[in-house]
Amino acid sequence: MAQIKLDWWKATEIPLSEGTWRNVKLYCDRNTDWNSSGEFVYVVRLSPPFAWKYDNGDSPILYIGRSKDAQGVVQRWKGHLSWINHLGSLLPGGRYELWVLQNKRYKEIESDFLMMFKNKYGRLPLVNQKQGAPDESERHEYDDEGLYELADADQDPRYLWALTSRREDVIEYFEKGVVE
């Protein structure tokens, strides 16, 4: 099986507080046309120094998604603002990042990443509700650490805190990703 090359780029890093992000447009660290065609996988994660405390380790990743085009990433990002606002109200001063990669195998990569995340951390990312394809034999190989370069808080010394909630209503809201 051929390896899939992953070329991640950070699309944005902005505060979680509603007053700051509501009118912010996506920008990125390379010249990207948000109206271009192509298929995308994207990861929403907390910015340092905060990560989330999962069952089997700490990760800043909150959500893994995909879109069939760049404009779809923008639309999905706008759709995610409801839970981002909720998280922002619970984590004053927090920031998040949107990381994106373009690849024609975007559906398979998203499924692989969800499965890899669940295998490593014991559950899906905090806000994901659906699991990738359950057949691990279908997994692709990647030319680098793939998801883990973005996922593993232990590999980045800027992550100083691993958070979890003690409030029952917050736990219920975010326990959608627990897969039995």
Q: Per-residue confidence at 28, pLDDT binned at 50, 70, 90? A: low
Note whether 117 and 61 are within 8 A (CB). yes
Tell me the residue range of the domain where 51 lies: 3-177
73 or 134: which leads in pLDDT: 73
What total number of domains does the chain contain? Answer: 1
1 or 52: which leads in pLDDT: 52
Q: Per-residue confidence at 61, pLDDT binned at 50, 70, 90? A: very high
Q: DSSP strand E in 7-111: where?
A: 9-15, 37-46, 50-54, 57-59, 61-69, 95-102
Residues 141-159, mean pLDDT to the nearest whole number: 78
